[in-house]
Amino acid sequence: MALTGREHWKKIWVGSAGNMVEWFDWFVYASFATYFAGAFFPDDNPTAQLMNTAGIFAVGFFMRPVGGWLLGRIADRRGRKTALTLTVTLMSLSALLIAFAPTYAVAGYGGAAVLLVARLLQGLSVGGEYAASATYLTEASAPERRGFASSFQYVSMTAGQILGLGLQIILQRTLSDDALHSWGWRIPFVVGALGAAVVFYLRRAMLETEVYEEAASGEERGTMRALWRHRREAFLVIALTMGGTVAYYTYTTYLTKYLSNSAGLSKETATLVSFTALIVFACLQPLAGRLSDRVGRRPLLITFAVGSTFLTVPIMTMLGHVGSFWPALGLALLALVVVTGYTSINACVKAELFPTGVRALGVALPYAIANALFGGTAEYVALWFKDAGIESGFSWYVAGCAAVSLVVYVTMRETRDLDLNRVGSGRARSPRRGSHPETTREHGGGMCQTAPVLSFAMIIGSRRAGPQ
């Protein structure tokens, strides 16, 4: 049974603190790209510079499936603690590489090559961090508080980005623009490397989850063969992630650039808008996570998908024409409130689909694939539309991705009441009072109730299944 009280919160704190540093290092690349883009590429076309740095940013995402497979396997076979310690070590190394990478003026494209290697290491690290962290936070929680506890994953992820933006604001106000473009952009990567070293020390003393320790060991723990037996759940993770990850990266990592390059706001104002909006966004996560413990995961996911499908185009259109701080902040907050329906609970939903022996790998690999295809490319796709002169096309792209995920949310089963110790065994915990029995039985780890869109259901394998 999951721990409660002081030890329970200690597990959540240590897992979240490491996640915060991981995502600080991951996101400062995006938030400081406007300053270091000219350091690694020729300066004849600013948009081309951003596209090059965005391309390297996307390459990091394509390394995430490798990290998801490797570190997910380690998390399932050696423990969540071992994997989480390794991910933060890799992140510290990658941050140091970026901090000391030579510029184009010094080494030509050699500096860009160092940048590329660093992003590959970051992708490897984050590919395992998400799943290990999601699994750890979900398993360390009491069954009736899994949504609340796992919401701290995005609290910590957002906190990492808030710290990065906060540091950017400080540097913008203490250094000249020339100094920021020349050497000031290196500071956050040094800070990230030092923070990772501190978290490495904390994670060495962290406790393993009881769910993992009580699970039966076996040779197939964390193997692709074991994951293949849960391939329907794996395809479901890809499909339900698609809309959420595109929307999340649109309104977080890309928002500052969009407000600066398209709306015409100053870099300082655009950064402040993102910083303020993300603080509110982080505060919303536990509230929405707790709500999901009461009403279920599907209502929140469906609310997100409906809102994102129908509001993305008008929100992005208005954001592209804002002329000051307050209208931009209001629209950004509206968008992030909608996205909260996905971010607050997606970690526990995915973890609840798989049995303990393949849970980390089952979350890591399909989630990383979805992020590589959709999340990591969101910024690059947006800049491509802008460079092609049809910037509004990106808004329709985001809305379309959300619409696809909406089909999945509507047809998937509720996962709130599944017993993590018995997922995949055909047994379930007793229904909580007020729950409908159809939502508390295990059907292949929480798969779809119906398949109204048959062609899509065939792709994700979401046919109605009986107890296994």
Going from the first residue of the chain to its last (468 residues), give the mean pLDDT of each consecutive group of 10, the final group possibly shorter: 60 77 81 79 68 74 88 93 91 91 81 86 87 88 88 90 86 90 92 90 83 79 93 94 95 90 90 92 96 96 98 96 95 97 95 94 93 84 91 96 96 91 56 42 40 35 37
Q: Alpha-carbon torsion 42, 43, 45, 51, what sign? A: positive
The pLDDT, as a whole number, for residue 216 is 66
pTM above threshold 0.75? yes
Q: Answer whether 97's CB lies under 8 Å from 114's CB.
A: yes
Closest CA to 58 of 283, 296, 245: 245
pLDDT of residue 424: 64
For the four alpha carbons of 76, 82, 87 and 90, in that order, the dihedral sign comes to negative
| Distance, CA of 23 to CA of 199 (rounded, Å) | 13
- The β-bridge partners of 448 are 412
Positive or negative, the Cα torsion across 189, 59, 102, 257?
negative
| The two three-digit tokens of residue 283, written as one number | 């505060």
Closest CA to 167 of 292, 275, 253, 242: 275
pLDDT at 467: 34
Pull the structure tokens for residue 113: 């090559």
Tokens at 464, concatenated: 């109605």
Calpha distance 44→157 (Å, rounded):
35
Q: Say what the pLDDT of residue 437 is.
A: 38
Q: How far apart are CA 411 and CA 296, in angstroms?
A: 14
List alpha helices for 140-230, DSSP H: 146-150, 152-174, 177-182, 187-204, 210-214, 224-228
Tell me the C-alpha distance between 91 and 410, whole Å: 37
| Residue listed under structure tokens 């092609």 | 388
- Smallest CA-to-CA distance from 80 within 149, 12, 5, 158 is with 12
- Phi-psi region at 84: left, alpha or beta (left = phi > 0; alpha = psi -120 to 50): alpha
What local confidence, expressed as pLDDT, does residue 403 receive? 97
